[in-house]
């Protein structure tokens, strides 16, 4: 076995094999894959092999699309038939809401270039008469997907990898990882068969690897322990059953091609043909998590016993949909571990806190995702960035607060939710509340309906105070949901009066030390603020795209306070930590410390034309009348003030585009401050406001949001933010940003949309009949009384006044590109004195 390699891939399932293949294809000549047993002996061998293109996530849709295209090329390259059956995929809808879901998905699919067709119940019945259709509303059909033999496609990728120089060693288990400053020292044990079990032998080897990728499937909890990190990849039981041949199907097939993969999402199952019979794969309620603390040695390519009772409902609904299956007996069953993560997306990217350690874990659609994951992870490792933004899959989207119990319960929920309606305004109930700001109970008592961001409870909107528990669930829709008019009133309150937003979930870091200024100057693209002032700035990737957006507050000559999006606390901290360690290693005298202070500070944003009046009533100052005026407290500055008895780091910014302040306060004083503001706010008409209204308001100001307009697939110049990029200084990613040029540009559009719906920020943009871009945000504008969105189009379509169309609910709606900040373009309201 080789003992010195550029990259070591651990795990020989579909995922690891694809990564090894793609690393070699991307030009790394010295790649080795270690598998503790046989290739495909993990979950891969018993997968049903379906390749669903349908996915509501833009990044995952790209990954699946690549896989489907890539698998079709494998036979030509390797001579091995990957067993790809392009039979199509028919997703049926029993309800209007489900059709709305497909319409929203279809618009996203267009932005990725995925082909689909609509079918009516009559068309389905005419083509596939064994399928009962009278209770269907319609279906979406993907002619290009189908299913594949998971073992065959893995072996084909393995052969392709070997042909490209990859070494594959079986029966070697990785048992230890140690970072040695510039490489990993990986300890491996030779495994052997003993009485049907796989047992470690005394033979050990140590491999020196510059990079390591773990793709260990159901063994992820053990991998996490070996690496000393947290990883919420825990498997859940998943079963499918195979029936005896169905005589009606056998007869029909004599003169007809195979059925597409049938999906009755409302009944929570997929069905496909298998040797004259049917495979039924349900996503039932109550499937338990398994192997939270590791896979037992005795479990190899094993299965759990079938639990027929658990899938009875789905079984009966298959019989309803395909009546001929009623009299057909069961031939086979599979109940295997399928890895999940709390949000259902895999963990792909750098391991938290570690260098040159890459994770590819937690795959529930690993056969579908293997091709694309291999390609985009290899891009990330070899080129430094992938052409799609991989942030939504980044393992650091989960922080240190995440535990085994949380992951297991959330993964069970993610499994059960595979076929629920994927409302964009969905919030999932398991493991909540968990991370709460002190004011949580107060907000709840005032009608807050919470969403969960990085584990934090954050109000989405304030509904009725006596709302039943089901209120938010019942308020969800693909159109304007039951919550919509609450958000409208909240948005109006900020435009016309004053509102208070709990923004405690913001990620916050303190950066200080003699090297802090030079370090941050190098790491971010905007000029650093003077002491007491703030700036908006961006950290770029090596490719010049946006890695993180920070509001930087300069507290002192060598001390800064960085605020970034709440969902990205670990992602942002990990990055700054590693960068600061590199900085200190190169310049020990100019040391810098990065400290995550997120949980020390609560944040209330108070915004609206009456916000100054409200704060003036509670500020303690020698001259309260001027304490918050422009002279003593100008826009984009920070001051330490006292509100009643609470010391507050007040920052004069407002993400809503109105006069306003962010009040960063010691978290233990939050309830005191809340009561103070609420009491004083009564006479000013203070209204509590949630994240949904805030999201709409920021679009009226063209404020870009990280994870939407800002991400690793566009530079700040493409985001059209040149005013936040100081080209006179040197900063990380500058040359790459300049070399990239402007491939597409961020725009704000006002939309004459349907009377009952707004865009969600996933829709395709058209100029005439040509697709020219996509939305990345969407909502409703109270200032303009119509739908609003932000997105990316080619630079030629980004000129204000350009007429575009937005694809919503399967129709094209007029939209017009606005000048930046259509609401209050001069910022007169934000700068307002008083
Ligand atoms: C019943 C069922 C049906 C499914 N149907 C589908 C489907 O239709 N479509 C689809 O896309 N997905 C499906 N899946 C999911 C799919 O099987 C998985 O997502 C996929 O196989 C994951 O591949 P992987 O490479 O990540 O993991 P695995 O296939 O589990 O591979 C991980 C490998 O790592 C090895 N390993 C672990 N630890 C070490 C170590 N320390 N050293 C060396 N080697 C190690 C293991 O031995 C294993 O071979 C299904 C799953 C189940 C259970």
Each residue of 783-823: pLDDT tens digit? 999 999 999 999 999 999 999 999 999 999 999 999 999 99
Nearest CA to ligand 1 atom 41: 174
* Pocket of ligand 1 contains residue 46 by CB under 6 Å: yes
Query: Contact 64/369 with Cβ under 8 angstroms?
Result: yes
* Pocket of ligand 1 contains residue 215 by CB under 6 Å: yes
Each residue of 336-367: pLDDT tens digit? 999 999 999 999 999 999 999 999 999 999 99
Check whether the bond before 433 is cis (ω within 30° of 0). Answer: yes
64 CA to middle of ligand 1, Å? 16
11 CA to middle of ligand 1, Å? 9
The answer, yes or no, to whether residue 329 has pLDDT greater than 90, is yes
List strand residue ranges (DSSP E) for 244-313, in order. 261-264, 269-274, 277-282
H or E segment at 151? helix 150-163
Over residues 138-144, mean pLDDT: 95
- For 90, residues 6+ apart whose C-beta sits below 8 A from its C-beta are 119, 124, 128, 139, 140, 141, 260, 261, 262, 263
* Ligand 1 atom, smallest distance to 237 CA: 53
Residue for token digits 């669930």?
Answer: 473
The answer, yes or no, to whether residue 299 has pLDDT greater than 90, is no
pLDDT, position 311: 97
* Ligand 1 atom, smallest distance to 34 CA: 43
Over residues 621-644, mean pLDDT: 98
* Pocket of ligand 1 contains residue 16 by CB under 6 Å: yes
Q: Which two tokens stand for residue 581?
A: 């360690």
691, exposed or middle or buried, with CB in 10 Å at 0-12, 13-18, 19+? buried
What band does 237 get if pLDDT is binned at 50, 70 and 90? very high
* Pocket of ligand 1 contains residue 49 by CB under 6 Å: yes
Q: State how far the Cα of 154 lies from the Cα of 138, in Å rounded to an integer.
A: 35
Query: Contact 84/160 with Cβ under 8 angstroms?
Result: no
Nearest CA to ligand 1 atom 18: 366
Enter the pTM of the model. Answer: 0.96
* Pocket of ligand 1 contains residue 64 by CB under 6 Å: no
317 CA to middle of ligand 1, Å? 28
Give me the torsion for CA of 453, 458, 460, 464, rounded to 10°: 140
590 CA to middle of ligand 1, Å? 47
Each residue of 746-796: pLDDT tens digit? 999 999 999 999 999 999 999 999 999 999 999 999 999 999 999 999 999
Side-chain half-sphere of 233: how many Cα atoms within 13 Å?
34
* Pocket of ligand 1 contains residue 240 by CB under 6 Å: yes
pLDDT, position 557: 98
Cα first-last separation, the chain: 75
H or E segment at 101? helix 96-112
Each residue of 717-727: pLDDT tens digit? 999 999 999 99
Each residue of 674-703: pLDDT tens digit? 999 999 999 999 999 999 999 999 999 999
Residue 85 per-residue DSSP state? E
* Pocket of ligand 1 contains residue 217 by CB under 6 Å: yes
């Amino acid at each position: 076995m080789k003992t010195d390699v550029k990259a070591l891939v651990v795990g020989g399932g579909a995922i690891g094999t694809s990564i090894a293949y793609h690393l070699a294809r991307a030009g790394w000549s010295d790649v080795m894959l270690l598998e503790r047993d046989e290739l495909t002996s993990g979950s891969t061998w018993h997968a049903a092999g379906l390749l669903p293109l349908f996915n509501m996530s833009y990044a995952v849709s790209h990954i699946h699309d690549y896989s489907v295209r890539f698998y079709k090329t494998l036979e030509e390259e390797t001579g091995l038939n990957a067993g790809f059956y392009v039979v199509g995929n028919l997703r049926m809808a029993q309800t209007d809401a489900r059709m709305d879901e497909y319409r929203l998905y279809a618009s996203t699919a267009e932005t990725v270039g995925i082909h689909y067709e609509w079918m009516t119940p009559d068309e389905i019945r005419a083509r596939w008469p064994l399928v009962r259709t009278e209770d269907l509303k319609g279906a979406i059909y993907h002619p290009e997907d189908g299913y594949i033999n998971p073992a065959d496609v893995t072996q084909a990728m393995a052969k392709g990898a070997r042909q490209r120089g990859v070494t594959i060693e079986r029966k070697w288990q990785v048992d230890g990882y140690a970072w040695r400053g510039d490489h990993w020292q990986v300890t491996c044990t030779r495994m052997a068969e003993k009485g049907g079990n796989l047992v470690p032998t005394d033979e050990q080897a140590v491999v020196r690897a510059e990079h390591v990728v773990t793709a260990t499937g159901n063994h992820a909890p053990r991998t996490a322990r070996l690496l000393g990190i947290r990883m919420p990849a825990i498997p859940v039981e998943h079963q499918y059953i195979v029936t005896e041949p169905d005589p009606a199907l056998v007869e029909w097939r004599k003169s007809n091609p195979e059925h597409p993969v049938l999906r009755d999402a409302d009944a929570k199952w997929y069905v496909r043909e298998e040797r004259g019979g049917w495979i039924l794969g349900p996503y039932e309620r109550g499937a338990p998590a398994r192997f939270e603390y590791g896979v037992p040695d005795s479990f190899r390519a094993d299965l759990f016993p079938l639990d027929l009772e658990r899938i009875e409902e789905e079984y009966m609904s298959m019989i309803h949909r395909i009546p001929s299956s009623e009299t057909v007996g069961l031939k086979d069953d599979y109940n295997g571990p399928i890895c999940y993560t709390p949000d259902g997306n895999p963990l792909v990217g750098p391991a938290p806190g570690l260098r040159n350690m890459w994770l590819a874990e937690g795959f529930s659609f690993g056969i579908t995702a293997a091709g694309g994951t291999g390609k985009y992870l290899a891009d990330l490792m070899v080129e430094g960035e992938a052409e799609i933004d991989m942030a939504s899959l980044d393992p650091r989207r989960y922080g240190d607060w995440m535990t085994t119990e949380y992951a297991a319960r959330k993964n069970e929920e993610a499994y059960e939710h595979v076929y629920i309606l994927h409302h964009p305004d969905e919030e999932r109930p398991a493991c909540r509340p968990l991370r709460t700001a002190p004011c949580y109970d107060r907000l709840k008592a005032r009608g807050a309906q919470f969403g969960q961001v990085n584990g934090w409870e954050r109000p989405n909107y304030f509904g009725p105070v006596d709302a039943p528990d089901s209120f938010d669930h019942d308020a969800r829709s693909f159109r304007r949901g039951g919550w919509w008019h609450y958000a409208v009133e909240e948005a109006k309150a900020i435009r016309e009066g004053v509102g208070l937003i709990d923004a405690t979930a913001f990620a916050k870091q303190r950066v200080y030390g003699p090297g802090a200024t030079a370090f941050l100057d190098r790491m971010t693209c905007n000029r650093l603020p003077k002491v007491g002032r703030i700036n908006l700035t961006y950290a770029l990737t090596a490719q010049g795209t946006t890695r993180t957006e920070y509001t930087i507050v300069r507290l002192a000559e060598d001390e800064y306070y960085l605020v970034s999006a709440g969902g990205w606390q670990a992602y942002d901290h990990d990055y700054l930590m590693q960068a600061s360690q590199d900085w200190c290693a190169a310049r020990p005298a100019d040391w810098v410390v990065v400290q995550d202070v997120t949980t020390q500070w609560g944040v209330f944003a108070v915004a609206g034309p009456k916000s100054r009046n409200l704060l003036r009533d509670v500020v303690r100052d020698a001259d309260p009348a001027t304490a918050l005026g422009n002279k003593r407290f100008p826009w984009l500055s920070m001051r330490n003030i006292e509100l009643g008895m609470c010391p507050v780091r007040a920052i004069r910014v407002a993400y809503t585009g109105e006069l306003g302040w962010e009040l960063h306060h010691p978290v233990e004083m939050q309830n005191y401050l809340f009561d103070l503001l609420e009491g004083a706010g009564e006479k000013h008409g203070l209204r509590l406001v949630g994240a949904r209204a805030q999201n709409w308001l920021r679009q009226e100001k063209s404020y870009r949001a990280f994870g939407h307009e800002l991400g690793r697939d566009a530079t700040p110049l493409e985001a059209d933010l040149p005013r936040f990029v100081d080209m006179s200084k040197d900063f990380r990613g500058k040359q790459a940003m300049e070399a990239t040029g402007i491939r597409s540009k961020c725009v704000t559009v006002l939309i004459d949309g349907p009377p009952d719906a707004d865009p969600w920020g996933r829709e395709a943009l058209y100029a005439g009949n040509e697709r020219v871009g996509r939305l990345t945000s969407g909502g409703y504008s109270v200032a303009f009384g119509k739908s609003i969105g932000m997105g990316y189009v080619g630079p030629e379509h980004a000129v204000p006044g350009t007429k575009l169309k937005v694809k919503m609910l399967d129709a094209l709606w007029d939209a017009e590109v606005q000048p930046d900040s259509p609401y209050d373009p001069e910022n007169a309201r934000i700068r307002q004195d008083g």
